[in-house]
A and B are shown apart, each in its own frame.
Chain A
């Protein structure tokens, strides 16, 4: 079809003929389109989705404790309230104690990962807090801190 020098008229005629051919074919495809609308009904052969059936494995009066736990788990998936109650009951340590513990824990573990320089600073800070009486040392502290900075060599 890529003919050079085709007049615009003949091009249009060719396009129209192509469209006619295509539209004639399309005519057959129009009919199936109508049938696609029926998608509101799902067919399935399992009773599980129709009725609310319970889990099939059961144990009574403590015959098999694992299965009794499983029964509570499986059957409470439908009822979310029971799950929340279970979580509250199983907490051995109360929330307040956990919060207190974490406060101190974060500090001690944080110290572990400090680099050496930072650890010295920490120690100095601790000593500062402890030694309130020894004021004589306060003069040496600034000099020690000054040492850590880069001292330009004097000519």
Chain B
């Protein structure tokens, strides 16, 4: 049993943490605060509960790191800590919007491949305006954008294409044509950040449509095949390009 003393969580924000590191939280999160805790936050205690995100686990004294990556912190709304890690393999998580490929129809249920360990199931009633007589027109090989209703390690993941108020709000069958490709999960999160430069720069080039799934899949559709392929190549390459290289590449393209 490693008897390591933990370090304060707020001191490590933005730095690399490894699995096994113990993070101590400021004393106001602990009811039985003992004098050995480091207290770095001088301000008032944030109200509400602390969110312990992916890569972290609650462990007695504080938070235990379970994945290697950069530690991030968000002070708003009660505070949140999580580990920003990189991976290619997707693990279904409840509430995530993903792109699935229909592999089979089994009675009233479609089987979708979402890139996880198991195929997800999608009931034909989980579409907007679907009734027993009015079935959605889904064929094997179609692309579907939906969210997870149930996703834990003990059960088969279930997806739906409507939200809690019964509206589809953009989910459902993705249309004809277009191009589907796979990238790493970290890039998807970068692209989905509130003000993403890559997306803003791309949107100046051509009119196109883009669907990003949290399982690493991206679907692109533009007016011509050539434009579609250009956008695909930029998105795949921009993971490893610096901002300047990307701007040079886009300048070349817009010049053509």
Contacts and interface: CB of A to CB of B under 8 A. Distances in A.
- Most chain B CB atoms below 10 A, which of A44, A45, A53, A63: A45
B49 A42 contact: yes
Interface size class of B (residues with CB under 8 A): 35 or more
B209 A49 contact: no
B189 A56 contact: no
Contacts of A67: 170, 209
B215 to A, nearest CB: 11
A50 B53 contact: yes
B170 A45 contact: no
A45 B93 contact: yes
Interface in A48-63: 48-63
A42 B79 CA distance: 11
Interface stretch (A33-41, A101-109, A114-122): A33-41
Interface size class of A (residues with CB under 8 A): 20 to 34
B207 A44 contact: no
A71 B50 CA distance: 30
A46 B49 contact: no
A83 to B, nearest CB: 15
Contacts of A38: 30-31, 58
Given A37-B31, A47-B54, A50-B54, A57 B211 contact: yes
A40 B53 contact: no
A64 B95 contact: no
B192 A54 contact: yes
Contacts of A61: 203, 206-208
Contacts of A40: 29-31, 49-50
B80 A43 contact: no
Contact of A58 (B32, B56, B72, B209): B209
A54 B214 CA distance: 11
A30 to B, nearest CB: 16
A74 interface: yes
Q: Which 9 residue pairs across A and B have the least CB separation, nearest first?
A: A61-B207, A60-B203, A37-B31, A63-B207, A56-B212, A53-B192, A50-B53, A57-B170, A59-B209
B208 A60 contact: yes
Given A43-B52, A46-B94, A58-B199, 17 more contacts: A45-B91, A46-B96, A47-B53, A50-B53, A50-B72, A50-B82, A51-B72, A51-B74, A54-B194, A56-B213, A58-B209, A59-B210, A60-B202, A60-B209, A61-B203, A63-B208, A63-B223
Given A56-B213, A61-B203, A64-B209, A47 B82 contact: yes
A42 B51 contact: yes
A14 interface: no
B169 A70 contact: yes
A33 to B, nearest CB: 12
Contacts of B202: 60
